[in-house]
């Protein structure tokens, strides 16, 4: 393996971490925008998604070029294919962040989330931030032991998603159908965001070990 080829693989890994950081920043901005009706923040998330898409496309091209030009070993080929799939999941996470921002923009200047659910969405935002931070660390270090923490965070996100669904479906819900739809959609975006982070983690584990990781289900 040439030093130039090793450098290319290192660049790929760095780019994946950078994209993970960007989708994490996007969801962090989303949560703040959502709970304060901050249109400027929401618009920045929508605009920055184009950057995430462009970086993902560039990374995919780099992967295809390396596969074509370098005839990688089985291990490296597994890594490159994993990088393609990881990039696709990260791009979807960026799309989900954009969906949250667009939903907030749709209701502006009104708040999209009822006051009594602000604490729940604040918690979901914190979980999303933590899970993508750990995901970026898994990509950077290839440390598969972090998978357990990510799985626990994903389970907590699932629990909050179910809790919100139960709230909007209960007889005590007084905010109408439109608000119920908003809350359900937003909750689903956060839940899917976490699911894709889990998928990224499993892809890393598979590329490192050569085996699927039974502890995390792949969507």
How does residue 211 score in pLDDT terms, banded at 50, 70 and 90? confident
How does residue 164 score in pLDDT terms, banded at 50, 70 and 90? very high
Cβ-Cβ contacts under 8 Å for 10 (sequence gap 6 or more): none
**C-beta of residue 79 within 8 angstroms of C-beta of residue 141:** no
**C-beta of residue 192 within 8 angstroms of C-beta of residue 91:** no
Angle CA 152–29–137, to nearest 5: 40
Say how far apart CA 193 and CA 139 lie, in whole Å: 17
Residue 216, pLDDT > 80, answer: no
Say how far apart CA 197 and CA 179 lie, in whole Å: 27
Please identify which residue in the block is written with the tokens 């998928």. Answer: 199
Q: Supply the pLDDT for residue 218.
A: 43
- Which stretches within 142-175 are classed as H helix? 147-169
pLDDT digits (tens, 9 = 90+) for 50-74: 999 999 999 999 999 999 988 898 8
Say how far apart CA 36 and CA 42 lie, in whole Å: 10
Handedness of CA 18, 147, 189, 168 (dihedral sign): negative
How does residue 133 score in pLDDT terms, banded at 50, 70 and 90? very high
Q: Supply the pLDDT for residue 33.
A: 97
Instruction: For each of the domains in the chain, give its residue range(s) and CATH number, in order of start.
Output: 3-209 (1.20.58.220)
Closest CA to 150 of 159, 137, 166: 137
Cis peptide before 97 (omega within 30 of 0): no
Say how far apart CA 101 and CA 201 lie, in whole Å: 25
Residue 107, pLDDT > 50, answer: yes
pLDDT digits (tens, 9 = 90+) for 142-162: 998 888 899 999 999 999 999
91 or 211: which carries more pLDDT confidence?
A: 91
- CA separation (Å) from 134 to 19, 139, 151? 13, 9, 11
Q: Considering just the CA atoms, what is the radius of gyration of the chain in Å? A: 19
Average pLDDT over residues 199-215: 80
Average pLDDT over the chain reads 93
**C-beta of residue 151 within 8 angstroms of C-beta of residue 216:** yes
Residue 219, pLDDT > 60, answer: no
Q: Supply the pLDDT for residue 137.
A: 96
Q: Supply the pLDDT for residue 212.
A: 62
């Amino acid at each position: 393996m040439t030093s130039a080829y090793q450098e290319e693989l290192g660049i790929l890994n760095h780019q994946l971490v950078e994209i993970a950081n960007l989708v994490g920043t996007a969801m962090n901005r989303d949560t703040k925008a959502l709970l304060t009706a901050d249109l400027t923040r929401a618009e920045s998330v929508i605009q920055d998604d184009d950057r995430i898409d462009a970086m993902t496309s560039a990374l995919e091209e780099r992967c295809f070029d390396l596969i074509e030009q370098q005839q990688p070993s089985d291990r490296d080929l597994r890594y490159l294919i994993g990088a393609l799939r990881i990039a696709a999941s990260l791009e979807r996470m960026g799309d989900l962040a954009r969906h949250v921002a667009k939903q907030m923009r749709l209701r502006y200047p009104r708040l999209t989330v009822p006051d009594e659910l602000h604490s729940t969405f604040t918690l979901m935002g914190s979980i999303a931030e933590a899970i993508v931070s750990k995901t970026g660390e898994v990509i950077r270090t290839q440390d598969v032991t972090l998978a357990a923490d990510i799985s626990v965070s994903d389970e907590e996100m699932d629990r909050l998603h179910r809790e919100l669904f139960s709230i909007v479906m209960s007889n005590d819900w007084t905010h109408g159908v439109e608000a119920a739809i908003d809350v359900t959609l937003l909750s689903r975006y956060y839940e899917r965001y976490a699911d894709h982070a889990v998928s990224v983690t499993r892809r890393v584990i598979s590329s490192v070990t050569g085996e699927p990781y039974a502890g995390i289900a792949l969507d």
